[in-house]
Amino acid sequence: DAGITQSPRYKITETGRQVTLMCHQTWSHSYMFWYRQDLGHGLRLIYYSAAADITDKGEVPDGYVVSRSKTENFPLTLESATRSQTSVYFCASRRQGEAFFGQGTRLTVV
Amino acid sequence: SQQGEEDPQALSIQEGENATMNCSYKTSINNLQWYRQNSGRGLVHLILIRSNEREKHSGRLRVTLDTSKKSSSLLITASRAADTASYFCATDATRTSGSRLTFGEGTQLTVNP
């Protein structure tokens, strides 16, 4: 199916564990983004990528790592999960104009 | 800090009424976009208005942009229960932020049948 796919949809992990959230797009859009959504904060940009092998920090990058070896994939890794990283994570892609969002990953850190 | 701020935070209306949501932002923009988010889902693009446009229509949606006041409004006419969702404005300031979209906190719209 064409579009942007996130996996897993739900994840529970323990404090201190490493966890990777996956994002895959089928359009070959240049730009990809990771946002987190928390009550009272709206969507905040974590990292973004302008093309393969080009990434940059967003508003709240601490504790996260990204990579983009292929245009279609943009995984987000929490190196050592903390409870403050409990959130809903959205991946998005964009060529120009509008952005297309995945369905989100609900991550709970216990 | 968030570029866009929506007002009101929550809005409850009856079916058939019009809903107006406002967005203010802080820096110069290339365009401003509105997105909709149904509960538990991702965001869906509704409409984009460029910085040199003042008004744009799409179906029951009307968006205005006032760059002198750094504000935008989204009007949904003849609302339906299915319009119940959160609505977000997003600003694109490509010259300074490299194609990032910066979102506000959203307006939760409830349309009562």
Q: Before A61, cis peptide (omega within 30)? A: no
Alpha carbon separation from A87 to A3, A38, A98, B11 (Å, rounded)? 23, 6, 24, 24
For the segment A19-43, the average pLDDT, to the nearest whole number, is: 93
The pLDDT of residue B99? 76
Segment A50-103, tens digit of pLDDT: 999 999 999 999 999 999 999 999 999 999 999 999 999 999 999 778 999 999
* C-alpha to C-alpha distance for A83 and A95, rounded to whole angstroms: 34
Has residue B89 been placed in a domain?
no
Residue A97 has a pLDDT of 86
Residue B47, in any domain of the structure: yes
CA-nearest residue to B88 within chain A is: A42
Is B104 close to A100, i.e. CB distance below 8 A? no
What's the pLDDT tens digit per position in B65-93? Answer: 999 999 999 999 999 999 999 999 999 98
**CA-based radius of gyration for chain B:** 13
Q: Which string of DSSP letters, residue by residue, matches A54-87?
A: EEEE-SS-TTEEE--SSTTB--EEESS--GGG-E
Alpha-helix residue ranges (DSSP H) falling in B41-104: 94-97
**Tens-place pLDDT, residues B2-57:** 466 888 999 999 999 999 999 999 988 999 999 999 998 999 999 999 999 999 99
Per-residue pLDDT at B2: 47
Cβ(B75)–Cβ(B105) under 8 Å? Answer: no
pLDDT computed for residue B98 by the predictor: 59
Nearest to B103 among A40, A42, A103 (CB): A42
Q: How many folded domains does chain B comprise?
A: 1
pLDDT surpassing 70 at residue B97:
no
A101, A90 Cβ separation under 8 angstroms: yes
Q: Which residues of B touch A61 (CB under 8 A)?
A: none
Give the pLDDT score at B113: 93
- Predicted confidence at residue B96, as pLDDT, reads 54
* Spatial distance between the Cα atoms of A29 and A108, rounded to a whole number of angstroms: 29
Residue B44 counted as domain residue: yes
Q: Does B102 touch chain A (CB under 8 A)?
A: yes
* Alpha-carbon distance B63 to nearest alpha carbon in chain A (angstroms): 15
In this structure, the strands spanning B55-58 and B31-37 are unpaired
Residue B14 lies in domain: 5-78+100-108
Structure tokens at B110: 């409830």
- Say if B84 falls within a structural domain: no
On whether residue B88 sits in a domain, the answer given is no
Domains within chain A, CATH numbers bracketed: 4-109 (2.60.40.10)
Partner-chain contact A101 B33, CB within 8 Å: no
Contact assessment for residue B22 and residue B7, using Cβ atoms and an 8 Å cutoff: yes
d(CA A101, CA B109): 20
Residue B1 confidence (pLDDT) above 50: no
Residue B43 sits in a domain whose CATH number is 2.60.40.10
At residue A39, the pLDDT reads 83
Residues of chain B in contact with residue A98, where contact means CB-CB under 8 angstroms, are 33, 45, 48
B5: tokens are 């701020």
Residue of B nearest to A38 (CA): B105
